[in-house]
Amino acid sequence: MSTEPPAPDPSSAQPVAAPGDPALPTQRRTLTTLAATQVLSGVGVASGIAVAPLVASALSGSDAIAGLTSTSGVVGAALVALPLAHVAGQRGRRPSLLLGFGVATGGAVLATVAVLVGSWPLLVVAMLLFGSGTAAGLASRFAATDLATPQRRARDLSVVVWATTVGSVVGPTLAGLADRVAGPGLRLGDAHAQHGSTAPSAAPFVLAAVAFALAAAVVAVWLRPDPLLASRAASDATSDAAPGAAAPSAVPADGKGSSWRDGLRAGWAVVSASPTARLALGAIVLSHLVMVGLMSMTPVHMNHGGATLQVVGLVISAHIAGMYALSPVVGWLADRVGHARVLYVGGALLLAAAVVVAGAPGEDSARLTVGLVLLGLGWSCGLVAGSALLVDATPGPSRTSVQGLSDLAMNTGGAVGGILAGAIIGFSSYGALAWGAAALVVVCAVVAAPLARRATLR
């Protein structure tokens, strides 16, 4: 039984009846369009992320610089999250996503130039812009909830998350094909080749630029009507038609006429006032931090154990499948049994994953595969159920501000997780990292227990 003071249902600011029914053309077209953009942006992100560390290592001769490109992409996604949310709040989802994919396209083009001129500092800067593709992909999942009813939010959101699977799996394969077809004309001299391998090629970044540009084109042409603006229009019409409806609020919706910094403050004020929102946001950040920390260091651990690149690739592919492939099932369960219950399941899966890999030697690929699949499933539960619960807990006029704060916190958590993981591996071991992740999950669960008792959960 919740002890949170009664408050108006946040979902009342959204259409409550038919608009979220997938049988309706508007929502069905919205989900189809968003899924298509996720496939394309997934190809772009996966292509660039897969080769950027290798290119940076070849250009700089340093593994530390190689890791810096990945961190740069995560930081870039965090930095652009709030501006994208601000644009969505002021002008709608379509301009926001166009901006995100447009900046990512520019980042991919700049990365191509960086490879051709042989400049790793320019590549690091390019990956900052490249991270906008990740931020736009994350924002797309919230766009799927704009016209969804509360009963279908997690399912509609999960469909968009699931579409990322296709791009993530196909992206590296297409990058390899692009390298073979166009690579010779876009490759540096052999002076940058390492250990008998070929010199790095800009072809995967050209592929990423094309993929991001196509994602922007899909948004521009087919994301009509804008789901956020359509949701607001339906909400206003419902309010106007209600007997005794109050006059429109003088408070600007989602920071209209203000800066993204004001949106950050407004989003934080909403989250601070709601135990439910704090619980949802904490679950999202924890899931991402633990996932990035363990996943990023598993290839290093396996390499120390003598695993081949092919085996490492199979383990990471299984992990990615765990993250995305079952997200529609996670969304269905969240809508059916409750978002909070799926969050609890996600926490248990994260804990189980950390325990499974904690004692696994680098050559035990079977045990590490099981652990990373569990890790991916736990992340999926945290992201899908946490995002849906966050929408439930947020009043309609404040949603884009809170969603921007959520993506900022999530990507910051991922960056912190990656940095801490590298430091722990450097000073201790992979096992210590895994046990530390397990301890963090337990501590967060204990701290969140009082918050959960005060939250309004479903």
User: Quick one: DSSP state of residue 334?
Assistant: H
What is the reported pLDDT for 247? 42
SS3 141: helix
What is the reported pLDDT for 186? 67
What is the distance between the alpha carbons of residues 57 and 276, in angstroms, rounded to a whole number?
44
What is the reported pLDDT for 196? 39
What is the reported pLDDT for 455? 65
Angle at which helices 93-117 and 120-143 cross, to 10°: 160
What is the reported pLDDT for 137? 92
What is the reported pLDDT for 51? 79
What is the distance between the alpha carbons of residues 150 and 33, in angstroms, rounded to a whole number?
21
Q: Identify which of 349, 348, 350, 368 has the alpha carbon closest to the alpha carbon of residue 358.
A: 368
What value, to the nearest 5°, has the Cα angle with vertex 262 and ends 260 and 264? 70
What is the distance between the alpha carbons of residues 307 and 301, in angstroms, rounded to a whole number?
9
pLDDT in tens, the chain (458 residues): 444 444 444 444 444 444 444 447 788 899 999 999 999 998 998 888 777 877 887 888 776 677 788 788 888 998 999 899 989 988 999 999 999 999 999 999 999 999 988 899 999 999 999 999 999 999 998 899 888 888 888 899 999 989 988 887 787 778 777 777 775 666 654 444 444 345 667 888 999 999 999 999 999 999 999 999 988 887 766 554 444 443 444 334 454 556 667 777 888 888 888 888 999 999 999 999 999 889 888 887 887 788 776 677 778 778 888 888 889 999 999 989 988 899 999 999 999 999 999 989 988 989 999 999 999 999 999 999 999 999 888 887 778 888 889 989 998 998 888 888 888 888 888 899 999 999 999 999 998 888 777 766 65
**b/e string for 331-352 if b means 16 or more Cβ within 10 A?**
bbbbbeebbbbbbbbbbebbbb
Distance between alpha carbon 119 and the CA centroid of its chain, in Å? 28
Q: Identify which of 173, 188, 153, 180 has the alpha carbon closest to the alpha carbon of residue 15.
A: 153
**Which residues, including other chains, have CB under 8 Å from residue 206's CB and lie 6 or more apart?**
108, 112, 178, 182, 186
SS3 382: helix
What is the reported pLDDT for 24? 72
- With tokens 């978002």, the residue in question is 339
Distances (CA, A) of 73 to 79, 165, 356: 10, 19, 29
